[in-house]
Every structure is written in structure tokens, then in C-alpha cells.
Amino acid sequence: MGHLIRMEKWAENLDEVTVGEWLKREGDLVAPGEPVAELITEKATFQYTPEEGGVLLRILAGENSTLPVGYVIGFIGEPGEPLPEGVESTNQGLIEAKKAEVRLALAPSVEPTRAAAGGALRATPPARRAARDAGVELEAVAAWLGDGRRLTDRDVEAYVQQAGGERSHADA
């Protein structure tokens, strides 16, 4: 019988988790206790290690996806084992509920021009911390990357190393 990799509520204030990097790919064998993915919360980054082994049959969440608690990000089982019925529809329901919650929370305070221009800057909590510690603006990192994706702490570190290094040479 397969094992669903579900984002559980590990802490009282945990509402969402970001999938950092998949350490295994679909079709890879996974030993019990072997890390399969890097998970990022507001306060910590850790590796998800399932208790059961098998084959990583499905990845249901891409890297840098921020998902609500309860979302199934992957499925480990025996070769040929189907994903249990209802998993994808349950995941979709969780996403829709989160979108509705965000719309309700932001509706009174969002400026129409900002929402029309693409909405708020998306960055993981570790990226926000890294930018603050390095003294750089997330908007500058996003403009430097130019691809509109959610920023990670690795993006901020790359910006500081490359763009920051260029700035220090210009000052010399």
C-alpha cells in the first residue's frame, strides 16, 4: 500500500509549506528514512523523510511551490500502483480554499493598480530574511532575475554574490 507525502500541521501557526528542492525524482527508489524533498516553513528548512520506502511514483508539487497544510505533494508506492482516488481533487480544493482566504484577507487593502500590475512580490520567508540580513531590497532581486517567479534564499544569495560584487568593484 502506498504512502502519501502530505504537508502536515507540525506547528500551531503553520498554514503553508514551500517545497524547496526535490531530492528524488519520479521513478527513484526511496529507502525508509531517506530524504525525498526539502521543505521550507516560515521558521525552518528541513528534509522530508518518509518512514515507508518504495518508489517515488508521483510528484504533485513543483519546486518553489507554496502549498497549504494538508496538500499531498507526492506518492510513494510499489511500481504500477495508482494514486489513490480523490487526492488530486482534494489538493485542488485546498488550493481554491487558500485562494479564497487570500482574496478575502487582501480585498479591502489591495490597491487596484498594484493588483493589475501583477500583485505582490512573492518570496519565501528565508528569502525575506536573507535579503534583510544582506541589506538588499527584494524588488531589486526580482528585477535582477526578471522571471517573475517566487524568490528563494538562493536567489538572494546569488544576487548578493553577483550584483553585490559588481557594486563593490564600482565603488573601488
Q: What is the pLDDT of residue 171?
A: 41
Same domain, 155 and 87: no
Question: Number of folded domains in the chain?
Answer: 2
Same domain, 166 and 96: no
Same domain, 16 and 91: yes
Q: Are 124 and 40 in contact (CB under 8 A)?
A: yes
Same domain, 9 and 88: yes
**Domain's final residue, options 79, 106, 133:** 106
Residue 114's Cβ-side half-sphere holds a number of Cα atoms within 13 Å equal to: 8
Q: What is the pLDDT of residue 103?
A: 61
Question: What letter does residue 18 receive in the DSSP assignment?
Answer: E
- Burial, 31: exposed, middle or buried (Cβ in 10 Å; 0-12, 13-18, 19+)? exposed
In a domain, 112, yes or no: no
In a domain, 111, yes or no: no
Q: What is the pLDDT of residue 172?
A: 39
Same domain, 69 and 19: yes
List, for the chain, all residue ranges whose pLDDT scores fall below the cut of 50: 108-117, 165-172
Q: What is the pLDDT of residue 97?
A: 83
Task: Please enumerate in sequence order all residues whose Cβ is within 8 A of that of 44, keeping only pairs 6 or more positions apart, or say none.
Answer: none
pTM above 0.85, yes or no: no
In a domain, 50, yes or no: yes
Same domain, 94 and 144: no
Q: What is the pLDDT of residue 104?
A: 59
Q: Which cell numbers hold the place of 12?
A: 500551531
Same domain, 102 and 125: no
User: In this structure, which amino acid lies at residue 86?
Assistant: G
Same domain, 26 and 52: yes
